[in-house]
Every structure is written in C-alpha cells, then in structure tokens.
Structure 1
Amino acid sequence: MKEYTFEELGYFAERECEAIKEQLQGHSYMNFDITWSNCAGNCTLIVRTDYEDSEKEIKNFFLHCALGMIFQLKK
C-alpha cells in the first residue's frame, strides 16, 4: 500500500483528522485508508491506497472526494 502525505494542506488538529477519517475511510474505488502523523498536536494528513496511478491523480481525486463530502453533508 502506498502512502501519500498532504503536507501542502498544512496541519490539522487530531479531531479534524478523525472527522476526515470517519467520512472518507474506505471511500471510492481507491479504498482510501486515512491516517496522520502527529507532532506536538500538529497533524499531517496521510492517505494510503493500493490503487495504481500517479501521486498527483490520487491526491487530486482524494481532494475531489473530500470536497464532494461537504456538499453531501450540507443537504
């Protein structure tokens, strides 16, 4: 399983990472596995998947799914 670290998004609180995991764990055909690295309360989001594609495409699709979740929750 490959890991993709979202350093470009900055740091999250652990509760924010937990909420992201709750919504997107196992989501889509990429079967996302969500985790994070916690350094003194500053968490960097990490997404794992076995799906074969470029890092850019996997990260873009994850962000697309995450943003789509906002609209689903708002309904």
Structure 2
Amino acid sequence: MKKEYTFEELGYFAERECQALKDCLQGFSYMDFDIKWSNYAGNCTLIVATDYEAEEKEIKDFFLHCALSMIFQIKRTVK
C-alpha cells in the first residue's frame, strides 16, 4: 500500500505545474512515485505517494533531487 507525502512546505502550485511534474516523474526511480495534488480554488498542494519504506524526509528529499535532476536533463537537451 502506498503512503502519501504532502509537500505543503513548497507552497501552492497551479494545476498545470502539478500535471507537468506528474508527466515527468510519474513512476520515476526505484521509489515508483505516484504524483497527485489537492486542488483548492486553483491552489494545488503537491502529493507524492510511494510504497518504498523510508523516513518521510528521505522520500521527500529524494523526490526533490529527482525533480531537479529532470530540470537539468531538460535544460541540457534544449541547448
């Protein structure tokens, strides 16, 4: 069963931004991320679910690492 981790500390995202994260990181890595969000009047809170067993900080830190790595990869391919 996957456990959900809410990224409230990142603030709110637009739904299109959450969808872009999902498009890039859904099922990514050995943690098999499942990307969701909670939309309240256009303000979306990012939610990441995984069945990987680890501390919340480790999972959140690794997700952010993967997201940044994806940005750098996209940047390299655009040049």
TM-score by length of 1: 0.99
Aligned counterparts of 2:34 and 2:74: Cα–Cα separation in 1 = 20
What is the deviation of 1:14? 0.2
Task: Tell me which residue corresponds to 2:73.
Answer: 72
Superposition RMSD in Å: 0.3
Equivalence map 1:33-48=2 (5 Å)? 33-48=34-49
**Alpha-carbon distance in structure 2 between the residues aligned to 1:11 and 1:35:** 13
Partner Cα distance (2:59, 2:12) in 1: 20
Q: Which runs of 5+ in 1 are unaligned?
A: none
> Which entry has the higher C-alpha Rg, 1 or 2?
2
Q: Which amino acid aligns with 1:2?
A: K
Partners in 2 of 1:60 and 1:8 — Cα distance?
12
1:12 match: 13
| Structure 1 counterpart of 2:24 | 23
- Determine the C-alpha separation between the residues in 2 that align with 1:26 and 1:68: 15
Measured after TM superposition, the shift of residue 74 of structure 1 is: 0.6
Normalised by the length of structure 2, the TM-score is 0.94
Match in the other structure for 1:32: 33
Give the Cα–Cα distance (whole angstroms) in 2 for the partners of residues 33 and 70 of structure 1.
Answer: 18
Equivalent pairs, count: 75
Structure 2 portions without partners, runs of 5+: none
